[in-house]
Structure 1
Amino acid sequence: MRLFFLYLFFATAVFGINVEMADETITNGRTALLEFKKEKNIEYKRVVTDKKSYKIFKNPLDDEKFYVLFPIGYYEKPADKKIEVFYVEQGKERSKTLFFKVENANYEKETLSVDSSKVTLSEEDQKRASKEYTEAMQIYKKTTIQSYVSSEFIIPMESKITSDFGKARVYNGSLKSYHGGVDFRASEGTPLIATNSGKVVLAKDRFYSGGSVVIDHGQGIYSCYFHMSKLDVKEGAIVKKGETIGLSGSSGRVTGPHLHFGIRIASQQVDPLQFIELINKNIFTQKN
């Protein structure tokens, strides 16, 4: 799997900050990372790209560093983009403009056959699905300043991946969506574990995703576990990394039992495996 990320090094200049960009190309559907070193007389405020503002957080392991994650949406077209870093220096707000390029990941298509009731919805099912979508997006749009994590992320189970992130989904001959996570092969009743510590913010059965658990890891990071047959956690529970949260199943819109695992950053779906590799390498690995 080819991975792209954006990684910036900052140093104080006489006026403002100097920025060095190690990689200025990223593909749609993936996550970019900016890291800042603590500098005298510099207070980092926010990062803005495409008129969207992203919070800058303290590194959970290093009080001398800060970071920001921002997702490149799945539907982003190839283009030259800019990032504005806003900061305060000696009481005055300043900004630094950076540039990067978005390239097309060229995701594949996959054709699936499911129960027709999951493709052509009744009015009642449409209302339910719409309500559940709104409920979930209200959760994802919230940003918990606190970080619940203190070590690297792990995958929720060891198994073959049967469907990668980003594949266009053709259900019963009709293009309906793209795959917003990765699917792990899992027979009915396989234990599933939390990718990292956090707070359970959703635990219920839903129309499309069936038995669903969503964990807030803090600082805008959410992990999602869908199509479960049994939930072992409740909303509001604090879970630890590696803790069993339930069992795999075939609930919701599926072709058979498996685990759909997803990551949301600032409410956007991103490639979960690329995110895990990115954040583990740059945030949870101490660099000299």
Structure 2
Amino acid sequence: MRFVSFFLFFATALFALNIEIADSNVTNGRTALLEFKKEKNIEYRSVLFDDKSYKIFKNPLDDERFYVLLPISYYEKPSDKKVEIFYVEDDKERSKSLFFRVESADYEKETLSVDSSKVTLSKEDQKRASKEYAEAMALYKTTTKQSYISSEFIVPMDSKITSEFGKARVYNGSLKSYHGGTDFRANDGTPLIACNNGKVVLAKDRFYSGGSVVIDHGHGIYSCYFHMSKLDVKEGSMVKKGETIGLSGSTGRVTGPHLHFGIRVAAQQVDPLQFVELINKNLLKGTK
């Protein structure tokens, strides 16, 4: 995997803003983090990135700091990206711009053999899959103003990774998608735990992902747990970090039992392990 460091070009002086950019590795499918220190007479508003507005939030554990997460699309080509920061200073609306470069992660391909009914869909299955996709995207596009996070993220199980994020997936000889999460080896019935505090917003069986749980952590951050054989939580329930949410399985479109673990930021699929490392190392550092 190939990375490149951020380079910054300030369109105008940023001395009024104290900005830190975390993680020098920016590639497609990863998350960038901008942090702002509290400054007198400055109110942070939002960031415009790729024609999309992202709200600047207060750090859930530090009232003196603010942050914004910028998910880089998997389909992003190598390019120089502009970030425009909007804020109010002494009751006047202002903006500043900076640039950084996104490079290609050069994801590999993997070939999988699955039941043909999961690749070439009947009209009924296609209708079901489309409905479930729309339902999930409506959730991911919802940004909860409150953050439920009170400490570092953890991974949902301790096991060997069998498939990393971003691999282009060839199902039964046909390129269909890319891998939007990280797969962990897990025999049927292995307990799975929540990666952080949050609210369960989806808990049901779905066509592609089988037994599925999605947790809202607030501020547009969602964690996803797919192919489960048993769900121990219900939609609307609150969960704590480390709490068992169900058991692993082989439901949905799979080649065998495992856990698919994913993270969504502002509705965008991102590398979940890079996200966890980025957030823990910077935003939530020192909070076990």
Say whether the fold is shared (TM-score over 0.5).
yes
1:178 equivalent to 2:171? Answer no
One-letter identity of the residue aligned with 2:167:
K
Match for residue 132 of structure 1? Answer: 132
Tell me what 2:77 maps to.
77
Alignment of 1:93-108 (within 5 A): 93-108=93-108
- The answer to whether the Cα contact below 8 Å between 1:191 and 1:248 also exists between their aligned partners in 2 is yes
Instruction: Identify if the C-alpha distance between structure 1 residues 145 and 87 changes in structure 2 by more than 3 Å, giving closer, same or farther.
Output: same
Secondary structure of the equivalent of 1:285? coil
Q: Distance in 2 between matches of 1:103 and 1:170?
A: 24
Return the letter of the residue paired with 1:144: T
Corresponding residue number in structure 2 for 1:190: 190
How far residue 285 of structure 1 moved from its aligned partner, in angstroms, is 1.2
CA separation of 1:22 and 1:119: change in aligned 2, threshold 3 A:
closer
1:68 partnered with 2:68: yes
Instruction: Give 1:244's aligned residue.
Output: 244
More deviation in 100-109 or 18-27? 18-27
Shift in alpha-carbon separation, 1:182–1:3, aligned structure 2, 3 A: farther
Query: Identity over aligned residues, as a percent?
Result: 80
Deviation (angstroms), 1:284: 1.0
* Mapped partners of 1:175, 1:73: distance in 2: 19
Unaligned runs of 5+ in 2: none
Secondary structure in 1 matching 2:26: strand
Are 1:59 and 2:36 an aligned pair? no
Q: Tell me, in whole angstroms, the C-alpha distance in 2 between the residues paired with 1:149 and 1:21.
A: 21
Q: Distance in 1 between matches of 2:280 and 2:4?
A: 14
1:205 and 1:211 in contact (8 A); partners too = yes
Where in structure 2 are the equivalents of 1:120-269 lying within 5 Å? 120-269=120-269
Q: Summarize the Cα distance change of 1:176–1:99 in structure 2 as closer, same or farther, 3 Å threshold.
A: same
CA spacing shift, 1:258–1:148, aligned 2, 3 Å: same
Shift of 1:218: 0.4
Read off the aligned partner of 1:95 and give its amino acid letter. S
Single out whichever of 180-189 and 22-31 deviates more from structure 2. 22-31
Per-residue deviation, 1:17: 2.9
Amino acid in structure 2 at the alignment position of 1:26: V
The superposition leaves residues 24-55 of structure 1 with CA deviations (integer Å, 9 ceiling, x where unpaired) of: 65100000000000000000000011111001
Secondary structure of residue in 2 paired with 1:17:
coil
Q: CA 1:14–1:161 in 2, change beyond 3 Å: closer, same or farther?
A: closer
1:217 is aligned with what amino acid? H
Deviations 1:156-190 (A, max 9, x none): 00000000000000000000000000000000000
Give 1:70 deviation, angstroms.
Answer: 1.1
Say if 1:116 and 1:23 are closer, same or farther in 2 by CA, change over 3 A: closer
Counterpart residue identity of residue 205, structure 1 = D
Please say if residues 30 and 72 of structure 1, whose CA atoms lie closer than 8 Å, have aligned partners that are also in contact: yes
Map 1:272-287 to 2 at 5 A.
272-285=272-285
Q: Is the 1:109–1:170 Cα contact (8 Å) retained in structure 2?
A: yes
Secondary structure at the counterpart of residue 130 of structure 1: helix
Aligned residue pair count: 283
1:49 correspondence with 2:55 = no
State the shift of 1:283 in Å. 1.0
The answer (yes or no) to whether the contact 2:216–2:222 under 8 Å persists in 1 is: yes
Distance 1:192 1:21, change over 3 A: closer
**Cross-structure match for 1:110:** 110
| Local SS of the residue matching 1:278 | helix
The TM-score normalised by the length of structure 2 is: 0.94
Cα separation, partners in 2 of 1:277 and 1:256, compared to 1, 3 Å: same
Cα distance change of structure 1 residues 211 and 72 upon mapping to structure 2, 3 Å threshold = same
Separation in structure 1 between the aligned mates of residue 150 and residue 95 of structure 2, nearest angstrom: 31
Task: Write out per-residue CA displacement over residues 219-251 of structure 1, whole angstroms, 9 at most, x where no aligned residue.
Answer: 110000000000000000000000000000000
Q: Which amino acid aligns with 1:158?
A: D
SS across alignment from 2:85: strand
Q: In structure 2, the residue corresponding to 1:132 is in which secondary structure?
A: helix
Q: 1:14 to 1:199 in 2, by over 3 A?
A: closer
